[in-house]
Structure 1
């Protein structure tokens, strides 16, 4: 029973791919160049329809998340994935929204974006599925312009208000939840992934203080200020990122719903911030 993993060489699919292999499961990386896996199980796919159908046919499960890139390209990829799923009919499909802030609880309300097309198409297919819906990744805090000031100045800077509660999660959490969803087909629909209650910036700073055993304070940045320090890394994508944080600033917070959380549906607790820091740095 094989499990096809998109993004197995990246930050999101990698932890799941490695976890499945470590647990003795038949995980197969769906990548453009299998030689990069140095002999690990892999299948070549260029994200075109024919290669996706070939990869999915006979698979027990497929894990999908859309790679970064221009939106028209992502839309084409989403449509190809949906068509391949309908044609190959794998046993189970798990989609990660990758932190895209969309309401996946009602397919009729999904926008005509790449992630909206993907989620709607999977939900409307005859294939068993679930949607893993994280909010924000703790790995965002490892961006050099964020973690470096924690280490050098004892300041955690981010584009949220001090009291802005967020259900932070990690790529390890997504891997944990996805593996369980592959095995438990009774759980369908949206599964929120993240900490409850959601830590505020002040809470995060407290976790960093305890882990690094030194005072760390939180400093809220405006979206524009955050964009300036991100721009050397994110380049042309910076305006879209700034716009996202401007929209988020209009909300009270970004917490997952308890009733559709992995805690409630699967009995899986996400890593605490300190547990995550321990896995990253020790």
Structure 2
């Protein structure tokens, strides 16, 4: 039995490979780079923009973990259709798809919605993981650097804006659990309940760093300007646009009905636990 993991060298895929490999599972790591080395896994090169869906990569798999690469809307829709075509042809035993967070799942973009709807129509055993914002976003140099060097955690959300933060490590734990729990279907939301506000994050950094840390809300446009040298102007503008949209919502927190806590018995790492585990 083999488990096939998309983006196996990336932020979401790599922790899933690590969890499965540590459990002694046979893992096939899908990457765009055929020369990549992934500990605990066989590497298979797959280009989701190719005209050929990755049918053989999925055939006979006990489980497939899918999340869509970043890119423009046209490319992401092509990724979605290629993945669905391959899954429908290969018929793996189980599929777990991550929306990759950002917005509430009901507000996801067309590519994510295409995959979710396609899985529902496929008849395949599947579940959809729906995180909100990733704690790893706080490791962007301008964010974590401000906390370390100035004692100020700057982020483009209001001080009282609650978020169900989750780590990529929490997503990996949920993926592994869902591979073993075919009885759990539909959407599984991963993140803190109740949500954590900016000052709560600052308190976590203060406890971890052993110094006072305060929270400062940035305007999304200002955050985009800070990120532009790191990400490029287009990507930074996209990030700023996301946070401007999130600011129109009352919060970005999950409810209690479809959580990993309730459905899988998994408790996500608190910000303090996450910081200690990664040694930030």
User: What TM-score does the superposition give when structure 2 sets the normalisation length?
Assistant: 0.95
**Equivalent pair of 1:163/1:200 in contact (CA under 8 Å):** yes
| Structure 1 residues 216 and 130: CA distance shift in structure 2, 3 A | same
- The DSSP-based 3-state class of the residue aligned with 1:258 is coil
Question: Does 1:139 find its partner at 2:141?
Answer: no
| Structure 1 residues 116 and 91: CA distance shift in structure 2, 3 A | same
**Equivalent pair of 1:49/1:84 in contact (CA under 8 Å):** no
The C-alpha deviation readout for 1:168-227, integer Å capped at 9, x for no partner, is: 000000000000000000000000000111110011111111111110000001111111
Structure 1 stretches (4+) deviating beyond 4 angstroms? none
**Equivalent pair of 2:103/2:246 in contact (CA under 8 Å):** no
Which segments of 5 or more consecutive residues in structure 1 lack a partner in the other structure?
Answer: none
Alignment map for 1:93-132 (pairs within 5 Å): 93-104=95-106, 113-132=110-129
Which segments of 5 or more consecutive residues in structure 2 lack a partner in the other structure?
Answer: none
**Partner residue of 1:280?**
278
Moved more, 245-254 or 174-183: 245-254
**Partner residue of 2:237?**
239
**Partner residue of 1:8?**
8
2:64 to 62, 65, 68: 62
Separation of aligned partners in 1, 2:24 and 2:122: 29
**Equivalent pair of 1:53/1:84 in contact (CA under 8 Å):** yes
Alignment map for 1:40-59 (pairs within 5 Å): 40-47=41-48, 48=50, 50=52, 52-59=54-61
**Equivalent pair of 1:110/1:120 in contact (CA under 8 Å):** no
- The DSSP-based 3-state class of the residue aligned with 2:194 is coil
Separation of aligned partners in 2, 1:191 and 1:61: 17
Separation of aligned partners in 1, 2:165 and 2:227: 20
**Partner residue of 1:265?**
263
Separation of aligned partners in 2, 1:185 and 1:50: 29
User: What TM-score does the superposition give when structure 1 sets the normalisation length?
Assistant: 0.94
The C-alpha deviation readout for 1:82-117, integer Å capped at 9, x for no partner, is: 11111110001100011142535xxxx875x21111
**Equivalent pair of 2:53/2:85 in contact (CA under 8 Å):** no
Separation of aligned partners in 1, 2:144 and 2:199: 15
